[in-house]
Amino acid sequence: MSNHQRHVLVTGAAEGVGRAIAQTFASAGARVVIADIQSADETLRLIREQGGSAEHVHCDVSSEASVVRAIAEAAELLDGRIDTLVNNAGMNGHYHLVPDMPLAAWEETLRINLTGTMLVTREATRYLAPEAATIVNVASNVGKRGLPYRGDYVARKWALIGLTQTVALELAPRGVRVNAVCPGPIEGNRIEDVMQRHADVEGATLAEMRAKWESESPLGRFVTPEEVASVVRFLADSASSAMTGQAINVTAGLVMH
C-alpha cells in the first residue's frame, strides 16, 4: 500500500519523536490520527500548515476504558481501517536503584509504558487493514542493555521487544507485520531531563554529562526525532515487506546488536 493511501494511528504524538513520526507520515500523504493524553494542537497545526491531514483523540493509555474508547473513535475517523499503528506513548520512568525502587513507581511505569501498549495493540487489531497492515513499536536502545537508575524503564523496553516478537508471530497469518525501532538518546526535552538526573547523582554538570554520553556513540552524537521517524516510516512501508519481529537500532552506533 502506498503511503498516500495509508491510514495511520500514532500514540503519544503531541511532542517529541511522536510528533516527528506523525509529521513524517502526514507529509507523505497519509491520514493521521494522534492518540494522546495531552493536547496535540501544535502537532495538528504543523501538519495542517503543510497541507496534511490529522486529527486528535484523547487517550490515557493507563486506562483500559480510555483506550477502548479512543481507538474506536480513531478508527471511525479513519473510516474503520487502520493500516499502520505506531505505539509511541509512554513516560520517562522513575529514577531509583532497584534496591530502592518503590513498588508504586515500578507499577506506574509498567502500566503506562507496557500495559498501555498491549491495550492499544489489542484494540487496534480489530481495525487493522486485511492486507499489509503494520505495527511499529517505539522501544529503545536500553531494551538491549542495562542502565543504572532506570530499572523500571529498562524492564519495560526489554519486555516491549518481546511483545513485538510475540505479536509478530500471532498476526503473521493475517499478513500483519510487527517491528520495533530502538533509538539511542534522542535530542529533545526528555533526554535533557534524564541527563540532568544522572548529572545530579554523579556530581557533574549537564554539559559534562552530555559530552560523556555523546562520546559513547561511535558517531559522537545523539539521534534526532526525524531520523527515528524515517525508520518508523520505512518499517511501515512495503520496502520492508520481508521484515517482521525485528528490533532495529537507530543509535548512532551506541548499540550494534
Known catalytic residues are 153
Cα torsion 194, 91, 161, 7: sign: negative
Cα torsion 247, 249, 255, 257: sign: positive
Evaluate whether 121 touches 74 at the Cβ level (below 8 Å): no
Where would I find the beta strands (DSSP E) of 62-176? 84-87, 134-138
Q: How far is Cα 175 from Cα 87, in angstroms, rounded to an integer?
A: 19
Q: How far is Cα 186 from Cα 254, in angstroms, rounded to an integer?
A: 12
Q: How far is Cα 198 from Cα 233, in angstroms, rounded to an integer?
A: 32
Q: How far is Cα 139 from Cα 89, in angstroms, rounded to an integer?
A: 10
Residues 6+ apart with CB under 8 A from 163: 114, 117, 118, 121, 137
Angstrom CA distances, 154 to 121, 122, 138, 151, 226, stand at 20, 23, 13, 5, 23
- Hey, what's the cell of 24? 513524517
Chain mean position to CA 24: 14
The helix/strand/coil state of 238 is: helix
Evaluate whether 71 touches 7 at the Cβ level (below 8 Å): no
